[in-house]
Structure 1
Amino acid sequence: MASLDHIEALTKVVLNNLEYQHDWTRIHQHTQDTLPRSLIYGLPPKRLYVHPDEQIDIIKAEKELGERIPQEPEVEWVLPLHLSEKWSPAQFAAVFDAIEAIPPGGADLEPTEEDGSEEEWRLWRGSKRGKRILLATVQDDSTVTYYWIFDGLVKPRQN
């Protein structure tokens, strides 16, 4: 198990990487008793993930409207880990069990009724959003590599 100082150092590396290399805003460290370690959440400069079923709903809506639907960024969870750490599925499950699908501060970016939230594609940003975490893997030279992890199975994206 990593020491508390080691985890804090990893978190700081990832916080700096998100803010200064990837232009994230509204970045916060999230700690709670039920989490095995602190998470980070924040707002990336552009949308990072579109669920495959949402992608289909957006394409249908764009055809009906005859115009492109802009994809605004969403607040995302980030889990900092070191490359040498060995995490079990149970540890990842504990993290997913301890969080909500939408991080704190993310609900104020979700569509409202005034935005026309009755449209099917908009529900993916709220009630249909599944739990996902951006895994920030830090290497010894402070390089950070990001991978998506999901709670449960997610079908592959359509390219």
Structure 2
Amino acid sequence: MSTTLSHLEALAQTVLYNLENQHDWTELRTHRIPGLSRPLISGLPPRRLYVHPDEQIEIIMAEKNREERIPQPPEFEWVLPTHLAEKWSIKAFAEVFDAVEPIPPSDNPQESSDLEDEDAQWKQWRGSKRGKRILLSTVQDDSTVTYYLMHDGIVKPRQN
């Protein structure tokens, strides 16, 4: 094996560095997933990236009933490093979604089991119950990284 990084591995390292040093992500890991030709990244953002619109409504109602705020801890996320010049198809994105689980593997098994224990209505969109999503990271030639949240399938739009 060569000591130099392949193009895709270098791309993943650029994104990993950006997440860690510019966006304060923790517990970052690079994954080689069977069936995929490129590495994926998983990690924990400093705050939650996505709240399902129906969950948002349930949380508001639950907070009103409880008269206290419901915590919104961050969740582990998949990150797909890409380059702006790459050509992607729906089939290629579908292959990535088919290869991953909803939640990336974590070194902290307690993290995901905390959500499974309680049966509050608003928790049905968290943990292993959540839909698959990937944070698409697009690196430009000047090393600028842009992020887009992608879901597997059709997802109800968020309410602002």
- Is TM-score (shorter-chain normalized) higher than 0.5? yes
What are the within-5 Å matches in structure 2 for residues 1-159 of structure 1?
Answer: 5-105=6-106, 108-110=110-112, 112=114, 117-159=118-160
Once the two structures are TM-superposed, the CA of residue 19 in structure 1 deviates from its matched residue by 0.4
Give the gaps of 5 or more residues in structure 2: none
* Contact 1:80–1:135 (Cα < 8 Å) also in 2: yes
The count of aligned residue pairs is 155
Cα deviation per residue 1:53-82 (whole Å; 9 max; x = unaligned)? 111111111111011112000000000000
Instruction: Could you list the structure 1 runs, at least 4 aligned residues long, displaced by more than 3 angstroms after superposition.
Output: none
Cα deviation per residue 1:99-131 (whole Å; 9 max; x = unaligned)? 000110175323537x86110112211243000
How far apart are the structure 1 equivalents of 2:125 and 2:154?
Answer: 16
- Matched position secondary structure for 1:112: helix
**Amino acid in structure 2 at the alignment position of 1:110:** S
Q: Cα–Cα, structure 1 residues 111 and 53, in superposed 2: closer, same or farther, change >3 Å?
A: farther
TM-score (norm 1): 0.91
* Contact 2:82–2:137 (Cα < 8 Å) also in 1: yes
Q: Cα–Cα, structure 1 residues 45 and 67, in superposed 2: closer, same or farther, change >3 Å?
A: same
- Matched position secondary structure for 2:29: strand
* Contact 1:62–1:68 (Cα < 8 Å) also in 2: yes
* Contact 1:27–1:41 (Cα < 8 Å) also in 2: yes
**Amino acid in structure 1 at the alignment position of 2:18:** N
* Contact 2:9–2:38 (Cα < 8 Å) also in 1: no
How far apart are the structure 1 equivalents of 2:148 and 2:54?
Answer: 20
- Matched position secondary structure for 1:110: helix
How far apart are the structure 1 equivalents of 2:119 and 2:134?
Answer: 27
- Matched position secondary structure for 2:63: helix
How far apart are the structure 1 equivalents of 2:8 and 2:145?
Answer: 14
How far apart are the structure 1 equivalents of 2:159 and 2:109?
Answer: 27
- Matched position secondary structure for 1:137: strand
Identity among equivalent pairs (%): 64
- Matched position secondary structure for 2:146: strand
